[in-house]
Chains A and B, each alone.
Chain A
Amino acid sequence: MTEIEARHFKELYKKQIVNDQLRANLSKATLQAVDSRGESFKEVDFEFLRKQAKMIREESVSHLNQLLSQFEDHARENGCKIFYAETPEKARAYVLDVAMKNNVNLIVKSKSMVTEEIELVPFLSGKGIETVETDLGEYIVQLAKEKPSHITTPAIHKSRTEIAQLFHDKIGTEMNNDPKFLTAEARRVLREKFLSANMGISGANFLIAETGDAVIVENEGNARLSTSSTDIHVVVTGIEKVIPKFSDLRIFMRLLARSSTGQKLTSYVSVLRGPRREEEKDGPREVHIVLVDNGRSSLLGTEHQEVLNCIRCGACLNVCPVYRNIGGHAYGSVYPGPIGSLVTPMYFGEKNAPDLPFASSLCGNCTEVCPVGIEIHHQLLSLRNEIVAAKKSRIERFLFKNYRKTMLRPGRYRMMGRFARMFSKSALVRRMMKQWTDYRDLPEFPSQSFREMYKSGKLN
């Protein structure tokens, strides 16, 4: 198992939580996203859409073998090459192989969480193939040699001044922190990359079983260019992204953009059906679709199966009070926030992220906004339960066993009450409970129990 930063969550979040600038950036951005989301749902029946989406996703995941097989058949008929990868290593090796066979030296890449998950860009760059992130936010974090801190807004943690300085240092632009200027500079630099590149990589938001289509939603136009301006297009995505029907898009298109950015529809939706046809004058000549498992299939049949229904909208991040205070980098995973706290231990192993399920107040905001009805906070609680049970702490087990006995036997309960009243004032006991009392109050016990007070007539 590859070690990931999420293992060190406790150290990471302590660094982030004291960064006032970060908290201000996050607060502004997430609250704005929450407002836009609310506004955008006024025109449609959210509960109707959510119910339909949940049913379709449940159907998709519980028929995964049939639907994947159907998708594969149609995508092959459309002229695509399909590759299944159980592990990140296998997926990376395949993409490298495609690039090497075609003498690729420059790849333009659009946003894809799965490519982040399998660390594709550093891998390809390490092999001498320049791989450029073309989504503005991803481009910013790539220049900064950082990782995205939000599923849909990767540079949410950075202020305009920080970005201006970064562009000045890395691509030689003048110091100007106007987002319009910075965006125009990115367009200028990246346009040249699109025109020079000989391979494009993208993710896919949905794979349609009945047609073999890969569907990509975005706002900037970089995914359109990454998928259309080169001779080779490689889609890297998770096996769970398949949905049964083309007509199901009427539900998901209305939910995804609203939940993610508060738009009715993203600026661009590309429904891609394989390489260019004979009568078409552009578009890729080769399309490869890499379907990555990386732990997803192990969730099937478990109580965490519904996590596979996620459509990666990022709505749960924007409403999470924990995320809003510590930001994405604190999670030490490409998947931050409430959904990240679930997905990270599931995809990368619980040992890699033992604390993430505890990085939640369990307020339930995440569940309330989830467009596919995942019970995120219940899932977190269940994961906590598994982690605690696996730890098998002798002290905890001893304490809870005795707590149970005490609550079941009145005599024992009275005796323990007397002990508690006797020792709770002791400085020694309070010192022993420092870890608890550092963050919580331990109120003093009254000198008599309720029963004793009642018997002595003090309550009359």
Chain B
Amino acid sequence: MEDDREKIFAAIRRGLRKDQHSDTERDGRSPLNTPLFADFQMRFEKFSDELVKLGGEAYVFSDYQGISDFLLEHITDDAGVFLYDEIREKYDRALSELKSTRAYKLSTDFENGYDKRDVAAFGSAILPCAACIAETGTIVLRNNMRLPAALATRLFVITEPARLIASLDELFTEKFRDAGGSNLFLVTGPSRTADIEKELVTGVHGPKEVYVIFHKE
């Protein structure tokens, strides 16, 4: 089907002849009223505060047993766990008990593609992340499977302290712009809506629970 590109561009050119601006000089300052958070502890406190306000939770564990106990405590159903392969490789010691007691699948089990109903059946998904943002309590995902994080009832992210960045100013930079892949997803707390009389309800389509674990060695 022939589109209207030329017609639209001609109309734009006609209009813009009357009103041309020069390029805008960006002001690179941060708009935050408080200074940026210097060390991990300060950033974590801010991140955790923001996430808790939204209904999520954030923890720091320095041992694998702590992570293992946490996961066993929070994954109590038999709906199955989706485990991102990168997580399995890094945190195998923390996952051994979970794997022996809960049904799970690895991302590598879906090497040849999958039916979305298979992924929708998982109750929990455990994923790595590209970054976390202290300013807003946000998780930044750039994985090669989009749906587990969108369909699971509980979302767990396990990551290292170095991935916790201070603010959105650090996210929207060349580093993340040029990281490759077809998508960058920002997740800020559980899925939510206030469409019925402005009453906040979590878990409308995406995860109802969101947990972020920092493994501090």
Quick one: given A187-B204, A211-B177, are A267 and B15 in contact (CB under 8 Å)? no
| Contact call A280/B33, Cβ cutoff below 8 A | no
Report if B77 contacts A (CB, 8 A). no
| Contact call B192/A305, Cβ cutoff below 8 A | no
Report if A236 contacts B (CB, 8 A). no
Q: Mark A200-236, 1 if CB is under 8 A from B, else 0.
A: 0000000000010000000111101100110000000
A313: chain B residues at CB < 8 Å are none
Report if A412 contacts B (CB, 8 A). no
| Contact call B183/A301, Cβ cutoff below 8 A | no
Separation in Å of the B106 CB from the closest CB of chain A?
12
Quick one: given A267-B206, A274-B182, are A221 and B107 in contact (CB under 8 Å)? no
B24: chain A residues at CB < 8 Å are 55-56, 58-59
Chain B's interface size range is: 35 or more
| Contact call B135/A52, Cβ cutoff below 8 A | no
Q: Which of B1-9, B60-68, B96-104 contacts A (4 or more CB under 8 A)?
A: B1-9
Which chain A residues (285-308) contact chain B, with CB distance < 8 Å?
291, 293, 297-302, 305
B31: chain A residues at CB < 8 Å are 44-45, 48-49, 52, 251, 254
Q: Mark A53-77, 1 if CB is under 8 A from B, else 0.
A: 0011011001111001100000000
A59: chain B residues at CB < 8 Å are 21, 23-24
Q: Mark B101-115, 1 if CB is under 8 A from A, else 0.
A: 000000100110110
Q: Mark B15-55, 1 if CB is under 8 A from A, else 0.
A: 11111110110110101111000000000000000100010
Task: For the complex, give the distance between the alpha carbons of A42 and B31 in Å.
Answer: 11
Quick one: given A28-B197, A63-B21, A83-B1, are A281 and B107 in contact (CB under 8 Å)? yes
Task: For the complex, give the distance between the alpha carbons of A29 and B198 in Å.
Answer: 6
When C-beta atoms are compared, the residue in chain A nearest to B150 turns out to be A224
B33: chain A residues at CB < 8 Å are 42-45
Task: For the complex, give the distance between the alpha carbons of A366 and B169 in Å.
Answer: 28
When C-beta atoms are compared, the residue in chain B nearest to A90 turns out to be B4
Separation in Å of the B150 CB from the closest CB of chain A?
5
Separation in Å of the A212 CB from the closest CB of chain B?
11
Report if A387 contacts B (CB, 8 A). no
From A63, A158, A283, A293, give the contact of B11 (CB < 8 A). A293
A228: chain B residues at CB < 8 Å are 146-147, 150, 183
From B26, B34, B173, give the contact of A52 (CB < 8 A). B26
Report if B79 contacts A (CB, 8 A). no
Which chain A residues (149-175) contact chain B, with CB distance < 8 Å?
153-156, 158-160, 163
| Contact call B150/A62, Cβ cutoff below 8 A | no
| Contact call B183/A272, Cβ cutoff below 8 A | yes
Q: Mark B187-217, 1 if CB is under 8 A from A, else 0.
A: 1111111111111010111110000000000
A249: chain B residues at CB < 8 Å are 168, 172
Quick one: given A28-B197, A269-B186, are A65 and B13 in contact (CB under 8 Å)? yes
Q: Which of A5-13, A178-186, A357-365, A426-434 contacts B (4 or more CB under 8 A)?
A: A178-186
Report if B12 contacts A (CB, 8 A). yes
Task: For the complex, give the distance between the alpha carbons of A28 and B194 in Å.
Answer: 12
Report if A268 contacts B (CB, 8 A). yes
Report if A275 contacts B (CB, 8 A). yes
Report if B59 contacts A (CB, 8 A). no
Q: Mark A228-256, 1 if CB is under 8 A from B, else 0.
A: 11000000000100000011111101100
Task: For the complex, give the distance between the alpha carbons of A375 and B112 in Å.
Answer: 54
| Contact call B195/A155, Cβ cutoff below 8 A | yes
Task: For the complex, give the distance between the alpha carbons of A64 and B4 in Å.
Answer: 16
| Contact call B191/A267, Cβ cutoff below 8 A | yes
When C-beta atoms are compared, the residue in chain B nearest to A223 turns out to be B205
Q: Which of A114-122, A132-140, A324-332 contacts B (4 or more CB under 8 A)?
A: A132-140
Which chain B residues (114-157) contact chain A, with CB distance < 8 Å?
114, 116-117, 119-120, 135-136, 138, 144-147, 150-151
Task: For the complex, give the distance between the alpha carbons of A275 and B197 in Å.
Answer: 37
Separation in Å of the B48 CB from the closest CB of chain A?
15
A68: chain B residues at CB < 8 Å are 9, 12
A78: chain B residues at CB < 8 Å are 182
| Contact call A62/B19, Cβ cutoff below 8 A | yes
| Contact call A219/B192, Cβ cutoff below 8 A | yes
| Contact call B194/A271, Cβ cutoff below 8 A | no
Quick one: given A43-B34, A62-B20, A64-B16, are A48 and B27 in contact (CB under 8 Å)? yes
Which chain A residues (95-113) contact chain B, with CB distance < 8 Å?
97
Quick one: given A86-B7, A211-B177, A220-B193, are A52 and B16 in contact (CB under 8 Å)? no
Q: What are 21 A-to-B residue pairs whose CB atoms are below 8 Å?
A: A29-B198, A45-B32, A45-B33, A58-B21, A136-B196, A156-B198, A159-B197, A179-B199, A184-B203, A191-B120, A219-B193, A222-B205, A228-B146, A250-B171, A264-B135, A265-B188, A268-B185, A268-B188, A270-B186, A301-B14, A301-B15
| CB-based closest 5 A-B pairs | A300-B15, A221-B206, A301-B18, A137-B195, A221-B205
A contact set with B: CB distance below 8 Å: 25, 28-29, 32-33, 42-45, 48-49, 51-52, 55-56, 58-59, 62-65, 68-69, 78, 82-87, 90, 93-94, 97, 134-137, 140, 153-156, 158-160, 163, 179-180, 182-184, 186-187, 190-191, 194-195, 211, 219-222, 224-225, 228-229, 239, 246-251, 253-254, 261, 263-277, 279-283, 291, 293, 297-302, 305
List 17 additional A-B contacts (Cβ < 8 Å) besides A247-B173, A277-B180, A281-B113.
A25-B197, A56-B24, A94-B1, A136-B196, A158-B196, A179-B197, A186-B204, A190-B205, A220-B206, A225-B147, A265-B188, A267-B188, A267-B192, A269-B186, A281-B145, A297-B8, A300-B19
